[in-house]
Every structure is written in C-alpha cells, then in structure tokens.
Amino acid sequence: MKLYNSETRRVEEFVPYNPSEVTMYTCGPTVYHFAHIGNLRTYIMEDVLEKSLRFLGFNVKRAMNITDVGHLSGDSDDGEDKMVKSATSQNKSVMEIADFYTRAFKADCDKLNIKWPEIVIPATSEVESYIKMIEVLLEKGFAYASGGNIYFDTSKLGEYYRFGKLSADELMVGVRDSVAGDDAKKNKADFVLWFTKSKFENHALIWDSPWGKGYPGWHIECSGISLKYLGEHLDIHCGGVDNKFPHHTNEIAQTEACVGHKWCSFWFHSEHLNDKSGKMSKSKGEFLTLSVLEKNGYHPMMYRMFCLLSHYRNQLVYTKEGMDSAAAAYAKLVKKLSTLGGGEVVDFEIFEKFNKKFKDALSNDLNTSLALTCVYDVLKADTNDSTKIALIASFDEVLSLSLVSAMDGSHELLQETETEISSEMKAWIEEKIAARAEAKKAKDYAAADAIRAELLSRGVEIKDTRDGVEYKIIK
Ligand code: AMP
Ligand code: ZN
C-alpha cells in the first residue's frame, strides 16, 4: 500500500514494523463540546484508512484517547483547560461533561459507520503512565522543573520540528498563540509536561505527583497511551493537520527522548473541512454538527459520501450545493442498488477483476473517489446481479455507506413512512415544485433537474402525473 507520510513529505510504500500487526494511533476528540462535521471528516478518513489496511490483508491494532483533561484553549501552555471551562459554564462537573460529550461522539461515529477503535482510553485514566514517563525524561535530562511546572527541554534535541519548514518564530508556542511567553521556560519552544501552577487555580482535576498536586499537559497523554497500548514502535499516527504543531511535534520529542529511538514511522494527517467563512472550529462556538445536518433532512450516510468524494489531503469546503449534490447522488445510488436481483452464480473472474481495481484505488494513497467510482463501474458492468452484489458488499467493508442494506432493501431511505412533515417543510417543497414548473415552462431543463435533485437530497421524491406533481417523503 502506498501512503503519504507527512514526516518525509512523500508517498511511500507502507511497511509495518511487525508484519503480523499494524499499530495505529488516533488522537481522540476533546470532549468539551459536540464534534463538528470537520472533526468527523477526520474520523471518517481515519476509519477508511483502518478498514483499507484490513481489506488489503493487514491485521490492525488501533488505539484512541479521549481528551478529558489538559487540552488548553489556544493549544499552548497558557489558557484555561477546555474541559474545566465548559464544565464551569454549564454548571456541571468535568466528568459529567466528559461523559456526555463522549457518548455524543460515539453516537455520531455509529451513525456515520465509523468503527470504534478496539482500544479507547480516557486520558484521565492513565495519569500514572504519564508520571512514569516524565520521571524517565527528568532522569535522562530531557526535562526540568521550573516555577512549579515540569517542562520538556527542546534544546536537548537534534531536530525538534519534523513536518516541513517552520521558522524559529513559528515554533514558539507562546508566540504562535499570541499569548504571553512563560517566564519559567529555559527556551521559548519548551512545553509543559506537568502543571502544578497555572493562571487558573480552579482546575477541578488534580492528581498527586512527585512534583506536587497537579495535572498533565495535553501532549503527554497521547504519548503515554500510545506507548502503553501499542508499544515502542508505532506504525501510523493519525490526526487532523492542525495537530502537526504543537501537538504531534511535542509527542515525537518526548516519546523519542523517553524510548531512545525512532518511534513512529508514518504520520497520516487529514486536511481540514472549512466553511465559506474559514476553518470550522469548536471554540468559535457556532458550527455544524451531524445532528444539524440530520435536522436539515440529510441522512448521515450522505455526509460520509460527501467526504469520500474528496481526497483526504485536500482541503474541503462545505457548501449547501456540494452537500446537496452528494446527497442526491447517494439517494440515487441507494435506489439503484435496491433494484439488483440475485440467485445467480458469482462470476469469480469478474469479481477478481473489479476487486483488484478497488484495491488499487485504496492502495494509491487512499483514493476514495476512485474507489467510489468502482461501485458505479460494477453497476454498469456486463455481468449478473449476484456478482454485482458480491462486489459491492465487498467494497462496502471499506466505504461503509450502508450499501448492503440498500441491496437487501432494509435501508432507511427505502422505507416509506408516514412521516409527519412540518408546515415549513411543506411550504418549502411546494415552493420548489412551483419553481421547477416555472423552469420547465422556460425550457430550462437543467434548472428543473437540479430542483428535482435538491428535493431528492432532502428525501422528497416527486412524480409528474396527469393531475400535477405528486410528492412523497422517502425517509
Ligand atoms: P479536537 O476535538 O479539537 O481535539 O479535534 C479532534 C480531531 O479533529 C483532531 O484530529 C483535529 O485535528 C481534527 N480537526 C479539528 N478541526 C478540524 C477541521 N476543521 N476539519 C477536519 N478536522 C479537524
Ligand atoms: Zn493526540
């Protein structure tokens, strides 16, 4: 399998350290708020990566943390802990907040057919591991105590930043986040491993440590959990591109200083989903969640389809038009798949031919849009329906677009329900039908078709009859 490695900035042949098992680590969500659809894009692409590896014959052991402590506003060593801030504003305990948003995240993953990694560890449950790691770093001279906190000494490293070119200024955490530098640091790029002192004395989560009561920094969580559950040689570490610095840079620094050799061989970074106004961000407060998409009439699989249509290394801009077009394509695909029959003998030669094409697309640095095209190629192929069903079921192990349920007729979009629709929705449908009639009158058939597709993307199917246009809700 060929995969882009952010550290070498090249597409490389992926070779695991131990051929019998690929180890894969994912930075989990910071559970102070709902995940936005940008976060979910990253988790969808990581899910595709894990499933592709399995599809290509690798055995995968994957771990993910849940960040429930230590992620400070601004990503730097200054600012308030995001969890504590959220708990205070909602008048809840940090653990109640963590529990609520972890469940919400799991529910989003389930709806998007994102497989929950077999090892999922809340950061607060592994504090002992971080303390042990910090002790080793102090012993080896890579860390120092100053002003009540323990810092990592970046001047002890030959190379600190590994993901390309950043200027010395960009590497200063404090400068980057436009907050005051920390006077206790020996070097501006040093970062906190353990806090006993911070500007925010209301920190609700504190543990005993050899350096006094306090709490761990965010970066040490991922290093500690990864080392404990996946060992000293990690094959793939994943995250969104924003994690490259400071988070992943600091993870590499402290982990390699601790184990004394190279730690992770592949860095998989998924590009961001932006909206028209710029980067989607939880801390901005207003953002799109999966529930908002559902309220607007989209099935979660339509969002997965929207993501799979673009390459994970390209930025993706969310627009209503783009989403509508993915939604219409998905609804059409489900309908088409539901018409496949069966009961014939699978043609293995054809099966092998298309399965190979699909594998080639995945092996080419996860070319998901090409992998999707394979579904359409199979549908057009000159072979029997049983072969088509077998192939598409096989592809769906990776695509996870609920294509199997479309083929066996159990897909939600195929169920005719007497859904109550709101008066706003009714008015919207009628307005669209009228606009379509106008477009047809003006012989603008492209516009008329676009309106039909838009209606379908919201689960409204229309039919022209002698008595006018009829519509039905198909989900
Ligand atoms: P967080 O919950 O903030 O720790 O982020 C969870 C994951 O989402 C991390 O891997 C981030 O890198 C990723 N992420 C954050 N913002 C975006 C975005 N706009 N688009 C895609 N991924 C993102
Ligand atoms: Zn992490």
- In this structure, the number of other CB atoms found within 10 A of the CB of residue 227 comes to 19
Evaluate whether 2-270 and 282-411 have a shared fold: no
Does domain 282-411 fall under CATH 1.10.357? My reply is no
Q: Is the pLDDT of residue 175 over 50?
A: no
* Predicted local confidence at residue 178, as pLDDT: 34
Residue minimizing CA distance to atom 6 of ligand 1: 29
Give the pair of three-digit tokens for residue 277: 């106004």
Calpha distance 133→253 (Å, rounded): 12
**At 358, which amino acid appears?**
F
* Predicted local confidence at residue 173, as pLDDT: 53
Q: Is the pLDDT of residue 376 over 70?
A: yes
Residue minimizing CA distance to atom 7 of ligand 1: 39
Q: How far is the CA of 407 from the centre of ligand 2 (A)?
A: 38
Tens-digit pLDDT profile for residues 93-150: 888 889 999 999 999 999 999 999 999 999 999 999 999 999 999 999 999 999 889 9
* Predicted local confidence at residue 179, as pLDDT: 37
Question: Is ligand 1 within 6 A of the CB of residue 29?
Answer: yes
Query: What CATH code would you report for 2-270?
Result: 3.40.50.620
Residue to probe by mutation, ligand 1, list 106, 242, 312, 316, most atoms within 8 Å of CB: 242
pTM: 0.86
Mean pLDDT (whole number) for 421-442? 90
Question: Is ligand 1 within 6 A of the CB of residue 28?
Answer: no
Question: Is ligand 1 within 6 A of the CB of residue 243?
Answer: yes
Q: How far is the CA of 254 from the centre of ligand 2 (A)?
A: 13
Q: What's the farthest any 2 CA atoms get from each other in the chain?
A: 84
User: What is the domain partition of the chain in residue ranges?
Assistant: 2-270, 282-411, 423-473
* Predicted local confidence at residue 176, as pLDDT: 37
Question: Is ligand 1 within 6 A of the CB of residue 242?
Answer: yes
**At 303, which amino acid appears?**
Y
Give the pair of three-digit tokens for residue 380: 């057009």
Lowest-confidence region among 35-39, 308-312, 351-355, 424-428:
424-428
Residue minimizing CA distance to atom 5 of ligand 1: 29
Q: Is the pLDDT of residue 223 over 80?
A: yes
Tens-digit pLDDT profile for residues 397-407: 999 999 999 99
Band (429; pLDDT cuts 50, 70, 90): very high
Calpha distance 351→358 (Å, rounded): 11
Question: Is ligand 1 within 6 A of the CB of residue 282?
Answer: yes
* Predicted local confidence at residue 78, as pLDDT: 60
* Predicted local confidence at residue 181, as pLDDT: 55
Which is more confidently placed, 205 or 266? 266
Lowest-confidence region among 55-69, 173-187, 250-264, 315-329:
173-187
Q: Is the pLDDT of residue 90 over 90?
A: no
Max avg pLDDT among 198-212, 220-234, 414-428: 220-234
Tens-digit pLDDT profile for residues 458-471: 888 898 888 788 88
Give the pair of three-digit tokens for residue 156: 């002890």
Q: How far is the CA of 251 from the centre of ligand 2 (A)?
A: 8
Question: Is ligand 1 within 6 A of the CB of residue 140?
Answer: no
Q: Is the pLDDT of residue 238 over 80?
A: yes
Mean pLDDT (whole number) for 433-458? 93
Tens-digit pLDDT profile for residues 281-292: 766 666 899 999
Question: Is ligand 1 within 6 A of the CB of residue 240?
Answer: yes
Q: Is the pLDDT of residue 343 over 90?
A: no
Which is more confidently placed, 369 or 159? 369
Query: Residue 74: CA atoms inside 13 Å, Cβ hemisphere, count?
Result: 15
| Averaged pLDDT of the chain | 90
Lowest-confidence region among 125-129, 244-248, 273-277:
273-277
Mean pLDDT (whole number) for 417-446? 87
Give the pair of three-digit tokens for residue 232: 């000293």
Nearest atom (ligand 1) to Cα of 279: 19
Question: Is ligand 1 within 6 A of the CB of residue 70?
Answer: no
* Predicted local confidence at residue 85, as pLDDT: 80
Calpha distance 88→131 (Å, rounded): 27
Q: Is the pLDDT of residue 57 over 80?
A: yes
